[in-house]
Amino acid sequence: MPVIHYDNTLGAGFVGCLFTATLYGVTCVQSFMFFQSSSQERKLLKYSVSCLFVLDTLHYILVAHTLYWYMVTNFTDPTVIERIPWSIFPVYSSPPPVILLFDAFSPIASGFIVGIFVMFGVGIGFGIKGLFLPTFSQLAKLSWLMYLGLGLLVVCDAYTALVLCYLLYKGRTGVNKGTDSLINVLLLYTVNTGLLTSIFALACFITYAAMPTNYVFLAMYFPLSKLYLNALLASLNARGHIGRVGADTTGHVSIPFSSRTRVGQETIPIEF
């Protein structure tokens, strides 16, 4: 019987489950914040966020079931580590729908629309085909689908972040410090949100390519869809703050007139 290394198999899955649980908590907080201030939002947007939250909840349940199946239900069977529970394939397929809706809110991503839909089809196809493969050694036959999906994901993330940063950078005038300050905020926000998802997607690709015989990539893949959802919710919740920053940094015109004018016998204050 071959030696089983639990650190880079179940251990990696456990780490991914911890990240997933943490990000799910952040999702709950951000969703609550969105619906608290969504009275003026379009119904389509509120329905989309509700749908994403439900999908995210199901995703977390499936991740937890996968680890429970390995660590509790089949605890006494060491050979189970090679078998695949049914719940892991919906987890594999969950990032593409979330990413598709995430990119639907980004007009920049429309330039990569073909790649986005190909990525969506690859993710769903991988999940469906995988249901008929009982072991991870047989799952290696579908490795090309995993490479294709993760590769498109990295390219799409990099394309969206770079194009948006370029457009924002070109929008700097150097004349209006208030506008440039707002653009700096947007640039920082774009890099922080887009770069994090890109790093995780690239880490998934590299670890899966370098170590296809273990589950290290699951430590990044499990929480991947939650990173996208939290990036989207952060974008929606930050609109008010960014708007206030824009209002505070807008250049004010100072008129060197008296702040009071006389009408008849009354003195009326005028605010500029």
* Per-residue confidence (pLDDT) for residue 155, from 0 to 100: 81
Asked whether residue 71 carries a pLDDT value surpassing 80, the answer given is yes
Least confident window among 6-15, 94-103, 180-189:
180-189
Residue range 10-238, CATH number: 1.20.1070
* Per-residue confidence (pLDDT) for residue 63, from 0 to 100: 94
Long-range contacts of residues 164-168, Cβ cutoff 8 Å, at least 24 apart: 164/106, 164/108, 164/190, 164/194, 165/190, 165/191, 167/108
Asked whether residue 150 carries a pLDDT value surpassing 80, the answer given is yes
* Per-residue confidence (pLDDT) for residue 254, from 0 to 100: 38
pLDDT tens digits along 202-233 = 899 899 889 888 889 989 989 988 988 888 88
- pLDDT tier at 2 (50, 70, 90 boundaries)? low
Q: How many CB atoms lie within 10 A of CB 105?
A: 12
Looking at mean pLDDT, say which of 69-73, 118-122, 132-136, 177-181 comes out highest: 69-73
Name the phi and psi angles at 232, rounded to 5.
-65, -50
pLDDT tens digits along 74-92 = 988 888 888 888 888 888 7
Q: What is the pTM of this model?
A: 0.77
Would you list the domain boundaries of the chain? Answer: 10-238
* Per-residue confidence (pLDDT) for residue 68, from 0 to 100: 95
